[in-house]
Amino acid sequence: MADLPKNHLVGHVCGEIGYYRRITNNRDGAPGRGWANPPRPDESCALPPLHPQAAARHAAALLAAVLLLASLAMAQANFTLMRDVALQRYGEDTAELVDAWRSEIEIMKGLPDEEKLVRANRFFNARIRWVTDDEAWSRSDYWATPLEVMGVGMGDCEDFAIAKYAMLLLAGVDVSRLRITYVKARVRSNGGERSQAHMVLAYYPAPSAEPVILDNIIPDIYPASRRTDLTPVYGFNSLGLWVGNAARPASTEPASKLSRWRDLLRRAATEGLG
C-alpha cells in the first residue's frame, strides 16, 4: 500500500446518497471522527451538491444494493455467456474487456488478498470514468451490473464499488472481509468545508481490524485511519449491515422483496453473473 500524501483535503467525491442523515447521530452534516491527512483525489471526479429530495430514493437504493450483493456472494460467472452478451449489446471492444476481466480474475485467484485488492481497484479505476447516473443511464439512482459498467465505460461511485466487490468475490476473497460502505466525506466548498455522501469499498483483514479503503477518486489504497476525510456511516455485504465502526452487524436479514432488486438480479443473471 502506498504512503499517504500529507495535508490535503478531498476536493471532490462521487455520489449523492442522502440517507446517511437518518442513521447517524451527527445530524448537522459536520464531519465527525473519521477513518490525518487524506490523499489528493482525482480532480476529474467533480460532484454536484447533495439534493435533500434524493434521500428517500437512496434509502430504497441501499436496500437494492444489499440484495444485489447477497446474490453476488454466491454468484458463479458464466464468462462465455457474458462475452456473448457483451459482443451483441456493446461490440467487440466490450467483449475484449470481458476477456481481460476474466483473465485478471484468474490471475488474482492465486494471489494474496492484498494483491487482489490492488488489482481489482486498478482494473476499474483505470478503465471506467466517473459520471452521474443521469449522464450514464439517463435516469436517477440506477444500479448498474458490472457488464453494463464495462459496456458504457462509465458509472457512479456505487457502480465502482459493486463492480470491485463482485470482482474480488469471483477472485476468491471471503465475503466477510468486504463491506460496501457509505461515508460522509469532508470536501472543500466555497472556501470552507462541508460533508458530502460518498461510497467506497472497505476490506477488513479480521472483523474488528482496521480496514483499508478502495476508492474511485483516490488511485491508491490506504488504511482507514489515514482517511480522516471520511466518516463511516454504514457498511453492508450479503451477511448484514453495520452502522459506523461497529464490529457486530446491526442487521443480518436484509430486505428480501424489492422491485429494484428483482430487476438487478434478472439483468445480472441474463448477462452471466448469478
Q: pLDDT tens digit string along 195-223?
A: 888 889 999 999 889 999 999 988 899 99
Q: Which of the two residues, 173 and 51, has the higher pLDDT score?
A: 173
Is 112 inside a domain boundary?
yes
Q: Mean pLDDT over residues 248-269, rounded?
A: 60
The 10 Å Cβ neighbour count of residue 177 is 18
Is 11 inside a domain boundary?
no
Domain span at 78: 20-270
Q: Mean pLDDT over residues 101-121, rounded?
A: 97
For the chain, the domain total comes to 1
Is 3 inside a domain boundary?
no
- What pTM, to 2 d.p., does this model score? 0.74
Q: How far apart (Å, rounded) are the C-alpha atoms in residues 43 and 34?
A: 22
* pLDDT, averaged across the chain: 76
Question: For 261, how many CA atoms within 13 A lie in the half-sphere containing its CB?
Answer: 17
Q: How far apart (Å, rounded) are the C-alpha atoms in residues 167 and 27?
A: 34
Q: Are 200 and 185 in contact (CB under 8 A)?
A: no
Q: pLDDT at residue 114 above 70?
A: yes
pLDDT recorded at residue 90: 97
Q: How far apart (Å, rounded) are the C-alpha atoms in residues 191 and 254?
A: 40
Q: Are 166 and 72 in contact (CB under 8 A)?
A: yes
What's the grid cell of residue 70?
Answer: 447477497
What number of H helices and E strands is found in the chain? 9, 8
- CATH number of the CATH domain containing 99: 3.10.620.30
pLDDT recorded at residue 41: 57
Is 24 inside a domain boundary?
yes
Is 170 inside a domain boundary?
yes
pLDDT recorded at residue 100: 98
